[in-house]
Chains A and B, each alone.
Chain A
Amino acid sequence: MNKKIIATTSLAGCFGCHMSILDIDERILDLIELVEFDKSPIDDIKKFTQPVDIGIIEGGCCNSENIETLKYFRENCNILVSLGECAIMGGLPALRNGIPIEECLREAYLDGPTVQLNTEQIIPAHEELPMILDKVYPCHEIVKIDYFLPGCPPRADLIWNALYALITGNKMELPYEVIKFD
């Protein structure tokens, strides 16, 4: 059997979902027998080198770069999985959705108690910085997502069971402990 190819990315997430992947602990050593990793923040592959079987997305979309990355994943991955609440529904960063973005920027760069006297009213804006979106969007509003794994972060056992099922084509096990979310 050819090894399945996996790729992962973090958009507007906190990396906790990636940490939860690592929390499969020893099973990582089993995993690397079953799969090969392509583009992922844990390795040095920056652009896809081959068609990918399973793409794992952490985080929703808060800027233009997130959107590009997400589309790039959709184009190159056969199956796309939204991992965690941020990818599924924006998660905690989406708390800003009810607040005008100007107010968030103002608080961080002009009004904060330790910000230098910012007489020129400098707020970061530069050709090198991607455009901030008006809201934080869940991934399925941007591209088609095939599977959703809930939790903040999803438990390592849930991730392992789901990946194992996707890799082997077997039915996924869902005992109660792994479908308890927060």
Chain B
Amino acid sequence: MSKKITIEPVTRVEGHGKVTIFMDDKNNVTQSRLHIVEFRGFERFVQGRPYWEAPVLVQRLCGICPVSHHLAAAKALDVIVGAGNGDGLTPVGEKMRRLMHYGQFFQSHVLHFFHLSSPDFLFGIDGDPLQRNIIGVAKANKDLAVQGVMMRKFGQEIIRLTAGKKIHGTGAIPGGINKNLTIAERDELLKGPDPLNADKMVEWSQAALEFFKNYHKANRPQVDGFAAFPSNHLSLVRKDGALDIYHGVLRAVDAEGNRILDDVDYHEYDKYIEEEVRTWSYMKFPYLKHLGKENGWYRVGPLARLNTCDFIPTPLAQKEFEEFKAYTNGKPNNMTLHYHWARLIEILHSAEVIRDLLNDPDLQSDDLVVKGKKQYEGVGVIEAPRGTLFHHYKIDENDLITMANLIVSTTHNNEPMNRAVNFTANEYMGGQQNITEPMMNAVEVAIRAYDPCLSCATHALGQMPLEMTLIGSDEQILDYKIKD
């Protein structure tokens, strides 16, 4: 007799989704799926809008990393207004955007680590579900919660001062930006009242990294073995191989570290990437064309970025990067929970970049916008906190959008997240008669490591509580649990 388990919806991740797991009569997992259950239709309904609306419209896909969409759209429109292929802005134009982007990286990664994932580290996968949240963290370890709240605030303040608003700002416009950073604004971030200043943020980033490393040291087998599997990895890297989240070329490596895409101009992304549609999810399944559906899938996000890049161009993060690389003898790291490690290294890197940028006098320049010869098509790619984000637009003579294609970060991780679900389902539920809350949370922990933004992914978003049903082959409900 076979059984089906449904997990719906998943919490402490950003989006609407559910999991179904099928088991045979020996309770071996025969199939598992992460379904993304919402559809919005952005690609179609932005058609007919004037192109300059795109950066403010499309960011409403996602209120967690709106800056990524704002900037990816702006980069595509830079091409359309003839301001080069992503590297043609004035120094203040590019640096204000970078500051905005690193500010958002900082806040988004902090949100994920402190607000969404730290409860699992603090209380354990099998901790009391009522305690497993940021409020529980605040009660158990107030300093940690305060750091999380203040670090996120710092990132949000950077966004406010560069984009005009903390969420859904307007700073980036085709060909540049609409404001520079005044000396007063700069000083607010550089020397703000304790703890809201750049130095403190670097220090706290290091502390958060230590927190994770200690946790790792104490729980090595669990952290290393949890949902680990070989895969390809894809990201942007700077021309010289440095980690760069704003601009670069596409690079992908396989599980052994061989480059399977190298130095690819992202304007030609559609030559290399294709998406499969499956009936049971609104989220598509991308893969590298030349490797095909079976072998061409890959991971994106913090782990992938540290696997593809050669070095990190800030000293403190570079040191951590070396330790991270040494752990796998320089080979790509394929351990799902190491996403957290990589994410924390990126938090530190972002804090360092922010501090450097704030000290750059270019930010006070008035030369905000570049314009050239109008083009009818543009591609913009950026590394969003959760991975590589593609925006592609075409326009007509009346400046109206005629085509929009978006491949968002979480979509690339669709296959990997499904594999992670499968892994944990096998590991924790295979052969078990009853489903327990910790088993369900284990599946969620695997999904959560990818920090999925399912709102982005379906161009929709919502909450993910978790509900599981165990159904026999005769469709009879055997066991039913709601996480509460």
Q: Please name 12 pairs of A and B residues whose Cβ atoms are closer than 8 Å in the assembled complex, sorted by A.
A: A9-B462, A16-B64, A28-B134, A32-B135, A41-B12, A42-B11, A44-B466, A65-B16, A93-B40, A114-B286, A115-B275, A122-B278
Q: Are A46 and B460 in contact (CB under 8 A)?
A: no
A105 near B43 (CB under 8 angstroms)?
Answer: no
A46 near B64: Cβ-Cβ < 8 Å: no
B279 at the interface (CB under 8 A from A): yes
A128 located at the interface, meaning its Cβ lies under 8 Å from any Cβ of chain B in the complex: yes
Contacts of B45 in A (CB 8 A): 95-96, 99, 104
A10 located at the interface, meaning its Cβ lies under 8 Å from any Cβ of chain B in the complex? yes
A180 to B149, CA, bound (A): 25
Residues from chain B with a CB closer than 8 A to the CB of A29 are 138, 145-146, 149
Contact of A41 among B14, B275, B280 (CB under 8 A): B14
Cβ of B44 under 8 Å from chain A: yes
- Give min CB distance, B292 to chain A, whole Å: 10
| CB-based nearest B residue for A41 | B463
The listed residue (A13, A101, A182) touching B461 by CB distance below 8 A is A13
Q: Are A44 and B41 in contact (CB under 8 A)?
A: no
Return the contact of A152 from the options B129, B135, B150, B168 (Cβ within 8 A). Answer: B168
Stretch of B54-62, B220-228, B312-320, B336-344 on the interface side: B54-62
Within the complex, the shortest CB–CB distance from B264 to chain A, in Å, comes to 14
Is B484 a contact of A49 with CB atoms below 8 Å? yes
Chain A residues in 8 Å Cβ range of B405: 112-114
Could you list which residues of chain B lie within 8 angstroms of chain A, going by C-beta atoms?
Answer: 6, 9, 11-12, 14-16, 18, 20, 33, 35, 37-41, 43-47, 57, 60-64, 66, 111, 115-116, 129-130, 132-135, 138, 145-146, 149-150, 152-153, 156, 165-168, 269-270, 273-282, 284, 286, 293, 392, 403, 405, 407, 441, 453, 455, 460-467, 482-484
- Which residues between 64 and 94 of chain A lie within 8 Å of chain B, taking CB atoms? 65-66, 91-93
Top 4 nearest A-B pairs (CB, nearest first) are: A16-B63, A104-B41, A46-B465, A41-B463
A13-42 Cβ-contact flags toward B at 8 Å (1 or 0): 111111110110110110010000101111
> Measured between alpha carbons, how far is A27 from B408 in the docked complex, in Å?
33
Cβ-closest chain B residue relative to A95: B45
Contact B278 A124 (CB under 8 A): yes
Which A positions have Cβ atoms within 8 angstroms of B? 8-20, 22-23, 25-26, 28-29, 32, 37, 39-47, 49, 59, 62-63, 65-66, 91-93, 95-96, 99, 101, 103-109, 112-116, 118, 122-126, 128-130, 132, 152-153, 156, 182
In this complex, what residue of B is CB-closest to A126?
A: B280
Select one of A11, A39, A95, A124 contacting B462, CB under 8 A: A11
Which of A14, A44, A65, A124 contacts B63, CB < 8 Å? A14
Name the A residues within 8 Å of B116 (CB-CB). 42
Bound form: Cα–Cα A126–B166 in Å: 38
Report A156 CB to chain B, min CB distance, Å.
Answer: 8
Q: Which residue of A lies closest to B136 (CB)?
A: A43
- The answer for the CA separation of A153 and B441 in the assembled complex, in Å, is 31
Given contacts A15-B63, A39-B465, A41-B464, contact A116 B274 (CB under 8 A): yes
A26/B37 in contact, CB under 8 A: no
Residues in A with CB closer than 8 Å to B40 are 12, 62, 93, 96, 104
Please, which residues of chain B bring their CB within 8 A of the CB of A129? 35, 37, 280-282
CB-nearest residue of chain B to A64: B37
- Given A16-B66, A124-B278: A44 touches B441 (CB 8 Å cut-off): yes
User: Once the chains bind, are B273 and A114 in contact (CB under 8 Å)?
Assistant: yes
Write the nearest CB–CB distance from B248 to chain A, whole angstroms.
Answer: 20
Distance in angstroms between the alpha carbons of A17 and B166 in the assembled complex: 11
In whole Å, how far is A94's beta carbon from the nearest beta carbon of chain B?
9
CA of A173 to CA of B168, assembled, Å: 25
What is the bound-complex CA distance between A37 and B133, given in angstroms? 10
Chain A CB within 10 Å, residue with most, of B269, B277, B453: B277
Residue B284 contacts which of A11, A25, A115, A153 (CB distance < 8 angstroms)? A115
Shortest Cβ distance from residue A116 to the other chain B in the assembled complex, whole angstroms: 5
- Report the separation of the CA atoms of residues A46 and B167 in the bound assembly, to the nearest whole angstrom: 27
Q: Is the CB of A12 within 8 A of B462?
A: yes
- Contact assessment for A112 and B166 in the assembled complex, using a CB-CB cutoff below 8 Å: no
Please indicate the chain A residues that have their CB under 8 angstroms from the CB of B41 in the complex. Answer: 96, 99, 101, 104-105, 107-108
Residues of B within 8 A of A20 (CB): 63, 166-167
Which residues of the other chain, A, contact B133 by a CB distance below 8 angstroms? 37, 42-44
Residue numbers in A under 8 Å from B135 (CB-CB): 32, 37, 43
Q: Assess whether A123 is in contact with B277, with CB atoms less than 8 Å apart.
A: yes
Q: Are A113 and B63 in contact (CB under 8 A)?
A: no
Q: CB distance B277 to A109 under 8 Å? A: yes
How far in angstroms is the closest Cβ of chain B from A131? 10
- Find the residue from A22, A37, A106, A108 having the highest chain B CB count within 10 A: A108
CB distance from B275 to the nearest CB of A (A): 5
